[in-house]
Structures are given as C-alpha cells and as structure tokens.
Structure 1
Amino acid sequence: MIDVILKKGKEKAAMLRHPWIFSGAIDKIKGNPENGEVVTLRSAAKEFLAYAYYNDQSRVALRLLEWDENTTINKSWYREKLKAAIASRDHVLNENTNTCRLVFSEADFLPGLIVDKYAGFLSLQILSAGMESIKATLIELLRELLNPTGIFDKSDAGARKHENLEATQGLLWGETPPEFIEVKENGILYHINIADGQKSGFYCDQRDNRKILADYTRGKSVLDCFCYSGGFTLNSLKSGAASVTSVDSSALAIETLQHNLELNGFKGSNQHSIQSDVNKQLRIFKDEGKTFDVLVLDPPKYAPSRSALDRAARAYKDLNRLGMLLLKKGGILATFSCSGAVDMETFKQIIAWAALDAGREVQIIRQFCQPEDHPVSLSFPEGEYLKGLLLRIL
C-alpha cells in the first residue's frame, strides 16, 4: 500500500480521529496513488496513523477510514460498517415512519457516502472519489443487507466537483422508482419523487423538530415559511392548528404541498398557500397588519462556506427581524439554519441582533438539532449542520 507522509507536527488531527487531512499537510508520497485509492497515512516519523482515501484533486486530500493498522479495508470491512450504520437506525423505522437516513458519511465512518431510505427504495449519494471507486460493491452490499425494491443514484450534488467527479443520476439496480413514492413520517403521508430532486422538497432531518413544534400549534394561527412540501404545515394541521399559512417561492413546492394536503385529508382545512419570496411576503404581512401565534423560518443554506458567513449573517438577521415583528405577544418563533459554517453560538448572536433591531424581548425555550439518523461524531463536529431555536417573543 502506498505511504503518504505528513509534515512534522501535522499528525494531531489524525491522532484525534478527525477524518480529514488537507493537501497542505502532506510532505511526500511514496508511490503514485490513483484518486480514490486507499493509502497508508504516516507521521513525519513514519509512524502509522490511519488508512485513508487519497485524492490529489481535492483540498481534502485524505479522507480517513480506519485507525487500526491490523485491519484490512476490503469488502468485509465495508459490509460491517454498513451493517452497523443500518442497525443503529432500526428503532427509527416503525409503523409511523418508513423513511430515514441509513448512512451519514463521516459520522458512520464511510466518508462521502449517504444512503436514504424511502419506503422500499434507496437513494445513494456518493461525494468522494473513494466511494465512487467501489460503487459496484456498495450496491451489492446494500442489496444483500436490505433487499430493496430499487436503488437510485442521486450523486448530483455540487460537492462532487471538489473531488473532480461529474454529477450522476439514474437507476443503479432494481425497479425504477415511480413518479411518487409514498412515505410515512410521524404518521403523515408524503409523496416523494427521488428521480427529480426538485420535485421532492422533503428533508428527513427535520423529522423530530416537526413533531416537537406541532405541540405548540394546537388551536394557534401558524405561518410556515419556506414550506417546501409541507412538513411543518402538515404536522401543525394534524396537531389541531386553527389555521396555517404556507409560503414558498417555488411553484413546484406549493403544488407538492397541495398534493400532500389532499393525501392526508387536509384539503379544504383552514390552510392557505402563497407562492412568493418569503422576505417580500413578510413585509406585505407587516404592511397589512397581520400577526400570527406561531411562525416557522426554515430557509435554505445561506452560508455554503465560511467565506459567505458575513453575508449569510445579514440575511438571517433581517429574516428573523421581520418574523419577530409579525408575532403576537407571547408568540412562538421556530427558526433554523442548515448552514454548517454557522455554529449554534453564532446563530444565537445573530438572533440577538435581530431581536434588538425588532425591539422585542426574546426567550430561548428550546434548541433544535438534527435527528439521530444524522449523528454527529465528537471527532468531526463539522457534521453538525442543522441547528435551530424555539423562541418566545415577548
């Protein structure tokens, strides 16, 4: 196996089991590894550190896999990692929920691999050259372990560019997914189109948070912003909300929401959908003098990297300021950020600035996070991307 030697003093991250080594930390390479090949990582003193995927096209040149020198990275190794990841989600899946994330990349010691379950179908997303090189093995093992109806490739994320990989999408094995797969989450039905990400609008990372917030919506007027396919809207209606107004700029999202309302028997309920830019619509509501009891702000990723942090902070602040102005005294604001570059303390500071500008006193009554099928490794805090606050606006 080819050895990759680190510069002196650059071994600490690997020894602490952080799964990334950046290209600038490499001193020399003994051999000529192909991108995606498993190599041996060694310190400047030639001590074994880990086995890792290598990619000279990526800023993250090494993605660490295994820290036991006596372990062989082979088909059996991948089988055991997949089995462990799948088994840890067994209790998430039940008669009320048949969709979840089965593999979450570095957190499950499979860097660059994401596997989502949608009823009988699997969605496979590969984001590293190493996982791309063993795609056929992964398909074989997922068939063996899960016996799915079909496996669909959703490796169309922009992150593949960083690994010098082209976007791919299409059927990998089994039956082609129907236009809509019917899934159930918290007892609520959704139709998911995994063959076209634009038609899905469904994010299972908000599963727990949707259920938690629903308890605060009973008998209340709710404004669900960036509603997508209606997760917070549907949970609020199921919980007995007096009214729900759902806003999204995407016509397809509104169309999907209407479909899911009908699917769950909520068509004709006290629900109103608006296709509009959220910031614009919040200003319209303010000018009209409208107020709500509960407001949900679940925007897309404003800060894809740390370089975008300042701009994102301004966007989050203005959005939350507008939201606070629309809430009745004692109202509830559920506000989220899915930007990995924005940590919880930074997010709290942004919300504090928004409250100051809005002239509202605000209490934090709960913190939201991603669910257990999106675990965060203590050695890889970067995996904690979803955070949120449940606020009382005084």
Structure 2
Amino acid sequence: MLQVSIKRGREKRIKGFHPWVYKNDILSFSRRPKPGELCVVRDYKGAFLAKGYINPDSYIAIRILTYRKDEKLDLKFFIKRISEALEYRKGIVPSDSTGFRLIHSEADYLPGLIVDYYNGYLVVQITTLGMEVLKDKVVQALIEVVKPKGIYEKSTVQVRELEGLPLVEQSLYGEIPEKVVITENGIKFNVQIIGGQKTGYFLDQRENKLLFAKEFVKEGDRVLDAFCHLGGFGIHAAVIGKAKEVVAVDSSQLALDLAKENAKLNGVADKFQFVKGDAFKVLKRMQQEGEKFDSIVIDPPAFAKSKTVVEQAKRGYKELFLRGLKMLKPGGNIVVCSCSHHITPPILEEILLSAAYDTRIPLKVLYTTYQAKDHPFVLQIPESRYLKCIFAKSFPWEV
C-alpha cells in the first residue's frame, strides 16, 4: 500500500481526528501515487497516523477512512461502517418517518459517500475519486446490510468535476421506480428519485418542519412557504399546525407539481395556493400588494458556495428577510434558513438583525437549529454544519 509522509507539525490535526490531509501537508510518497488508491498516512518520523484514499490532484489530497493500524479496508470494513450507521439511525429516526439519511460522508467515517433511504430504496451520491474507486464494495455492503429493493446513483453534484469525475445518474441494483412515497413525521411525500433534485428530497429539515408546525403554527393561520420545493414546511403547517391557508412559492415547475401531489396525498390541497416564480420577485410583489401572514418560512438554496460571494449572498438573504418581515403580522413568526456553510450562525443572525432594524420590527429568537440528527456535523470540520435556521417571533404590537 502507498505510504505517505506528512510535514512536521501537520500530524496534530490528524491526531485530533480531522479526516482530511491537504495537498500542502504532504512531505513525501513511497512511490508515485495512483489517483484514488488506498494509502497509509505517517508522520515525518514514519509513525502510523491513519489510512485513507488519495487524489494527488485534489486540494484535499487524502481523506481518512480509519485511524486503526490493524483495520483492513476491505468489504468487511464497509459492512461494519454501514451497519454502525444504520444502528445509529434506528435510534434517532422516528418510527413515523420512512425516509432518512443513512450515510452522511465524514460524519459516518465514509468521506465522499452520501446514501439516503427512501422507504426501501437507496439513493447513492459519490463525490470523490477515492470513493468512486471503492463503489463496488460500497454497493455490495449496502445490499448485505440494508437489503434494499433497489439502489440508484445520483452523483450529479458539480464538486465531482474538481475530482476529475463525470456527472452520473444510473441504476446500480434492483428495479427503481421514478417516484416513491415516504412518510416524514407521519406525513406522506412523493419523492422523485429519477430526475429530481439532489437525491430526491431534502431530508435535513425533518425536525425543523415538525418544530415549526407544532410550535409556530396554530389553527386558522395563514402561512407563507418561500422556496417550498416539495411543500415540506407548508404541508406540515397544514396537516399538523392546521393552518387555514398556505401560499407556496418555488421557481421549479417540477417541484410545484410534486408539492401539489403531496398536498393531495395528505388531504390539504384545498388549503394551498401554489405560485411559480422567482421568490425575490414574487415576495416583492406580494409585499407591495399588502399581503400579510401569521407565519413565514424562507428556506432558499445555497447563495454562498464560496467565500468570494459571501457579501453578495448576504445582500440576497437580507432582501428576502426584509420582504418577509414586512408581510409578517404583529406577533407573527418567521423562520429563516441558510444551507451555505460560509453563512455561519453569527452571520445569519447579523443579516436578520439588520433586516429587523430596517423594518423596525422587534424580534425575539426562540430557537437556532441545524440539520437533522441523521445529518450530524463533525466538530473538527466547521464546514459540515451547513444548515442553520433561526426561529423568531415578532412582538404583538406595531411601532
């Protein structure tokens, strides 16, 4: 196996269980590395640190799979890792939810691998060259541990191109339906496996949707669900919160069509008004027309995919938050989210505070939450805490 020595002082991060070795950490190789192959990581004196896989052309050159010298990176290794991940999910995913994240990359010690479970079917996303090389072992292990009806690969994220990999969407095992129905907090949702966004559904908001519906929505409320995707927050508000009316906004016709199906599945289609369009323009028009809501959710896609666009992203978030606050009834609730890891919790609070100042709406924050427990973040990797949500309530009087 390839031996990789890292520079003096760089071993501290590895010993602290940070799972990445950067290109400029490397001191030497025992031979010329093959992209994607397994390797042993050693300190500058030759002492063992870890095992992983390498892509010498990537900024993150090595991703660590184990810190144990005696652990072989064979099929048994993947069966063990996946079994551990499944046991963890059994303990934290509620029994009324048949969709969950089974493997969350570094958080499950399988960097470069995402696996989502949808009522018996698995959707796999591979983001790194090293995990691509190991894909056959991963699929074999998933079949043995999970015994799924089918496995579908949706490796369509742009980060693959940084690893020299093509975008891929294909069946890996069994018969794959175009759509599958899952339950989330007891609510039914159609998930578009083939041709849908990401792996088909955004599972990371499960706990936030339930919190919103149970504590922030009351019977008879009017709710705005901006960037609604498949209608998650809005349908929770209608079914669990018993909202009277939900206005759901999204720019994707496919997402809105599925959201309409989901509303029908749960018997709340009559409560919904679906609006197709750019949320910036739609919210501006609604605000100018004097629309008012008891509760508002603003959950946009990632605006800041790199540090260079953080300031521009902050302006985008602020415009949305301003529009939302201006449509909020006194005593109403607003939930704002960001799935950009560059927008840290303090930055998100700063943006909301600035919007509250400009609109002269006093807010009290009741919760700051993150992604669901089946998407845990790694303490050593701040970037893995990507989703932040602020649950705030306005004071029950106008200034």
Question: Where on the TM-score scale, by shorter chain, does this alignment land: which range?
Answer: over 0.9
Contact 1:336-1:387 within 8 A present in 2 as well: yes
SS of the residue aligned with 1:169?
strand
Residues 200 and 230 from structure 1, CA distance in 2 versus in 1: closer, same or farther, beyond 3 angstroms? farther
Q: How many residues align?
A: 392
Aligned to 1:17: 17
Q: Distance in 2 between matches of 1:237 and 1:184?
A: 15
Once the 2 structures are TM-superposed, how far is the Cα of residue 26 of structure 1 from its aligned partner? Answer: 1.3
Q: Distance in 1 between matches of 2:9 and 2:94?
A: 48
Aligned to 2:143: 143
Q: In the TM superposition, what are the counterparts of 1:128-207 in structure 2 within 5 Å?
A: 128-175=128-175, 177-198=176-197, 202-207=201-206
Q: In the TM superposition, what are the counterparts of 1:49-60 in structure 2 within 5 Å?
A: 49-60=49-60
Q: Which residue identity does 2:13 align to in structure 1?
A: A
Deviation string 1:350-369 (CA, Å, 9 cap, x unpaired) is 21122122222121111121
Q: In the TM superposition, what are the counterparts of 1:364-375 in structure 2 within 5 Å?
A: 364-375=365-376
Deviation string 1:262-284 (CA, Å, 9 cap, x unpaired) is 1111122x321111211111111
Aligned to 1:119: 119
Q: In the TM superposition, what are the counterparts of 1:206-221 in structure 2 within 5 Å?
A: 206-215=205-214, 216-219=216-219, 220-221=221-222
SS of the residue aligned with 1:89?
helix
Contact 2:300-2:337 within 8 A present in 1 as well: yes
Question: Is residue 253 from structure 1 mapped to residue 252 from structure 2 by the alignment?
Answer: no
Q: Distance in 2 between matches of 1:96 and 1:50?
A: 39
Aligned to 1:100: 100
Q: Distance in 1 between matches of 2:213 and 2:357?
A: 28
Contact 1:151-1:171 within 8 A present in 2 as well: yes
Deviates more, 1:283-292 or 1:221-230: 283-292
Aligned to 1:346: 347
Q: Which residue identity does 1:371 align to in structure 2?
A: A
Contact 2:101-2:117 within 8 A present in 1 as well: yes
Q: Distance in 2 between matches of 1:377 and 1:198?
A: 25
Deviation string 1:310-331 (CA, Å, 9 cap, x unpaired) is 1111111121111111101111
Once the 2 structures are TM-superposed, how far is the Cα of residue 119 of structure 1 from its aligned partner? Answer: 0.6
Contact 1:199-1:256 within 8 A present in 2 as well: no
Q: In the TM superposition, what are the counterparts of 1:31-110 in structure 2 within 5 Å?
A: 31-93=31-93, 95-110=95-110
Structure 1, unmatched stretches of 5+, are: none
Q: Distance in 1 between matches of 2:318 and 2:330?
A: 20
Question: Is residue 242 from structure 1 mapped to residue 241 from structure 2 by the alignment?
Answer: no
Q: Which residue identity does 1:229 align to in structure 2?
A: L
Contact 1:209-1:368 within 8 A present in 2 as well: yes
Contact 1:201-1:228 within 8 A present in 2 as well: no
Q: Distance in 1 between matches of 2:391 and 2:317?
A: 15
Deviates more, 1:289-298 or 1:342-351: 342-351
Question: Is residue 285 from structure 1 mapped to residue 286 from structure 2 by the alignment?
Answer: yes
Q: Distance in 1 between matches of 2:91 and 2:12?
A: 36
Residues 19 and 40 from structure 1, CA distance in 2 versus in 1: closer, same or farther, beyond 3 angstroms? same
Contact 1:101-1:116 within 8 A present in 2 as well: yes
Q: Which residue identity does 1:273 align to in structure 2?
A: F
Contact 1:107-1:380 within 8 A present in 2 as well: no
Deviation string 1:123-149 (CA, Å, 9 cap, x unpaired) is 011111121111111111111111111
Aligned to 1:302: 303
- Normalization by structure 2: what TM-score? 0.95
Percent identity among equivalent residues?
A: 35
Residues 208 and 151 from structure 1, CA distance in 2 versus in 1: closer, same or farther, beyond 3 angstroms? same
Q: Distance in 1 between matches of 2:198 and 2:318?
A: 29
Q: Which residue identity does 1:185 align to in structure 2?
A: E
Structure 2, unmatched stretches of 5+, are: none
Question: Is residue 334 from structure 1 mapped to residue 335 from structure 2 by the alignment?
Answer: yes
Q: Which residue identity does 1:221 align to in structure 2?
A: R
SS of the residue aligned with 2:390?
strand
Q: Distance in 1 between matches of 2:343 and 2:190?
A: 31
Once the 2 structures are TM-superposed, how far is the Cα of residue 377 of structure 1 from its aligned partner? Answer: 2.2
Structure 1 residue corresponding to 2:266, chosen from 264, 270, 277: 264
Q: Distance in 2 between matches of 1:109 and 1:377?
A: 10
Deviation string 1:180-227 (CA, Å, 9 cap, x unpaired) is 211111111111121112498621101111100002212211111001
Contact 1:233-1:244 within 8 A present in 2 as well: yes
Q: Distance in 1 between matches of 2:303 and 2:389?
A: 14
SS of the residue aligned with 1:173?
strand
Q: Distance in 1 between matches of 2:25 and 2:54?
A: 13
SS of the residue aligned with 1:348?
helix
Residues 292 and 366 from structure 1, CA distance in 2 versus in 1: closer, same or farther, beyond 3 angstroms? same
Once the 2 structures are TM-superposed, how far is the Cα of residue 46 of structure 1 from its aligned partner? Answer: 2.1
Q: Distance in 1 between matches of 2:253 and 2:328?
A: 26
Once the 2 structures are TM-superposed, how far is the Cα of residue 93 of structure 1 from its aligned partner? Answer: 4.7
Q: Distance in 1 between matches of 2:114 and 2:179?
A: 21
Aligned to 1:8: 8
Q: Distance in 2 between matches of 1:274 and 1:318?
A: 19
- Normalization by structure 1: what TM-score? 0.96
Q: Distance in 2 between matches of 1:200 and 1:161?
A: 18
Once the 2 structures are TM-superposed, how far is the Cα of residue 161 of structure 1 from its aligned partner? Answer: 1.1
